Structure 1
Amino acid sequence: MTTILIVPPFSTLCNAAFALRREVFVWEQKVPEEEEHDADDLTATHFVAVMAGEVVGTLRLIDKPEHVKIGRVAVRMAFRGRGIARQLITTAMAHARASGRDRFYLTAQSDKLGFYERLGFSAFGPEFLDGGMPHRAMRDYDLPGNQLAHS
Structure 2
Amino acid sequence: MQAPAQTPEVHVIRVPTASALGKAAFALRHEVFVIEQEVPVEEEIDEYDPAATHFVAIHEGEVIGTLRVVFLPEHAKIGRVAVRADSRGSGIARRMMEVAMSACRSYGVDRFYLAAQTDKLGLYEKLGFVACGSEFMDAGIPHLAMRTY
Give the TM interval when normalised to the shorter protein. Answer: over 0.9
Deviation at 1:131, TM superposition (A): 1.1
Q: Does 1:30 align with 2:38?
A: yes
SS of the aligned residue for 1:42 comes to: coil
Q: 1:45-56 counterparts in 2 under 5 A?
A: 45-56=53-64
- The match for 1:60 among 57, 64, 68 is 68
Runs of 4+ residues deviating >6 angstroms: none
Task: Name structure 2 gaps, 5 residues minimum.
Answer: 1-8
Q: Match for 1:26: what amino acid?
A: V
**2:148 corresponding residue in structure 1:** 140
CA distance in 1, matches of 2:17, 2:131: 30
For residues 87-135 of structure 1, give each alpha carbon's deviation from its aligned partner in whole angstroms, at most 9, with x where no partner exists.
0000000000001100000000011111111111000101111011000
Partner of 1:8: 16
- Name the count of aligned residue pairs: 141
Q: Offset at 1:36?
A: 0.4
Q: TM-score, normalised by structure 2?
A: 0.93
Q: Where does the alignment leave 5 or more consecutive residues of structure 1 unmatched?
A: 142-151
Q: Aligned partners of 1:2 and 1:80: how far apart in 2?
A: 13
Q: Distance in 1 between matches of 2:104 and 2:76?
A: 8
SS in structure 2 at match of 1:41:
coil
Query: Alpha-carbon deviation of 1:5?
Result: 1.0
* Paired position in structure 2 for 1:121: 129
Q: Deviations over 1:51-108 (max 9, x none)?
A: 0110000000000000000000000000011111000000000000001100000000
Partners of 2:29 and 2:148 in 1: how far apart?
24
Alpha-carbon separation, structure 1, partners of 2:122 and 2:103: 23
Shift of 1:11: 1.0
Aligned CA-pair RMSD = 0.6
